[in-house]
Amino acid sequence: MKKAIFAVLLSALAAAPSVQAAAPVAKAVTPADDLKLYRSYFMKKFPGLPLDGYANGVYAIDRASRDGWEAIEEFPPYEPFVEEGKALWNKPFKNGKGYKDCFPGGPAQNKNFPYFNKVRKTVITQELAINECLQANGEEPLKYGKGKIASLLAYMAFESRGQKTNVEITPESLEAYNKGKQFYFARRGQLNFSCAQCHFQSVGQRIRSDILSPALGQTTHWPVYRATWGDMGTLHRRFEGCLEQVRAAPFKLQGEEYRNLEFFITHMSNGIPFNGPSFRK
C-alpha cells in the first residue's frame, strides 16, 4: 500500500513542468561547464545559501529538519564508529605494516579521492584503495557498504574535516566522468526515474516524509549514520537505496558503474569542504 502511494507521488513529480524545464542540465559539454551550470541552477533555487552550506544536504534547505539534526549532532551517534575506525587504522597487519604505509599522508585522505588511475584506466575510490591495501599486505578485504569499512572511513573522514572536495577531470578521465553523468541523468527502474529528476528537478519537494536534497554537496559527509539503517553506511550503500526506491536493480558496490557515478557527483561538489561523518534520517 505504502509503495503504491509512493509510486503515485513519483508520477506526480515526473509530470511536473519543472522536469521538462530541466533540459538545459543535459546540454553542457565540458566538466567545467557542467559545474557552472549545476551551481547556478541550485544558487537560483536557494538564493542566499552559500556554497559551503550544501555540505549539510537537506538540513541546509529545510529549517525544521535542521533543528532536529543540530540537536542530534551534539551527541553524534557516529562517534563510537570513529573510535572503532581509529583502532582499526592503528592496528598493524600480520606483516607488521599498516594503513599508514598505503596512505603516506595519514588518515586525512578525503581530498585525494576519488581519482582516476591513468594506467589502470579506472576510478579509484577510498574504499577500493583500502581493500587493495589490505590485499597487497596479505589481509582479507573488507565487505563494502557497512561494518568495518564504514568505521574506518568514519575515522578518515573525521580527520579530513575541513579539506575541500577537489576532483580533477583530465582528458584521460573524461570518459569515466561522462559515464557517471549519463548514469545520473538516465531513467531507470520500474518507476522510470533518474537521479536528476529527484535531486535536481524536484529538489526541495517532499516525497513521503522526506524532503529531496540537492545533488550539490551530496558527497561531502560520508559515511553517514542513518536512523533508517540504525547503522553507518557508505555512499554506495545510499546509491543502492535510491535505486531500490525506484525499483531498479542495484549495481555492485564499488563496481565500475557506482565508481563512475561517484566520480561525477563528487566533481559537482568541488570546493565544498568535507564534513563527515554525519547523521541523516
C-beta atoms surrounding 47 within 10 Å: 7
Q: Per CB under 6 A, does 224 bind ligand HEC?
A: yes
Distance of closest approach, residue 152 Cβ to ligand HEC, in angstroms: 19
Inter-residue contact 145 to 236 (CB < 8 Å): yes
Q: Is the peptide bond before 277 cis (omega within 30 degrees of 0)?
A: yes
Rounded Cα gap, residues 136 and 221, in angstroms: 28
What would the x/- binding string for ligand HEC be over residues 186 to 215, using CB under 6 A? Answer: -------x-x-xxx-------x--x-xx--
Q: Per CB under 6 A, does 137 bind ligand HEC?
A: no
What is the phi/psi pair of residue 144, to 5°? -80, 155
Rounded Cα gap, residues 249 and 246, in angstroms: 9
Distance of closest approach, residue 181 Cβ to ligand HEC, in angstroms: 11
- Which of 47, 31, 16, 257 has its CA nearest to residue 166? 31
Candidates 128, 150, 246, 268; binder of ligand HEC (CB under 6 A) is 246
What would the x/- binding string for ligand HEC be over residues 14 to 53, using CB under 6 A? Answer: ----------------------------------------
Q: Kindly calculate the radius of gyration of the chain based on its CA atoms and give it in whole angstroms.
A: 19
Rounded Cα gap, residues 219 and 97, in angstroms: 30
Candidates 25, 35, 58, 152; binder of ligand HEC (CB under 6 A) is 58
C-beta atoms surrounding 113 within 10 Å: 22
Candidates 205, 231, 242, 250; binder of ligand HEC (CB under 6 A) is 242
Residues 63-102 that bind ligand HEC (CB under 6 A): none
Residues catalogued as catalytic: 242
**Which residues bind to ligand HEC, rule: CB under 6 A?**
10, 57-58, 193, 195, 197-199, 207, 210, 212-213, 218, 224, 238-239, 242-243, 245-246, 261, 280
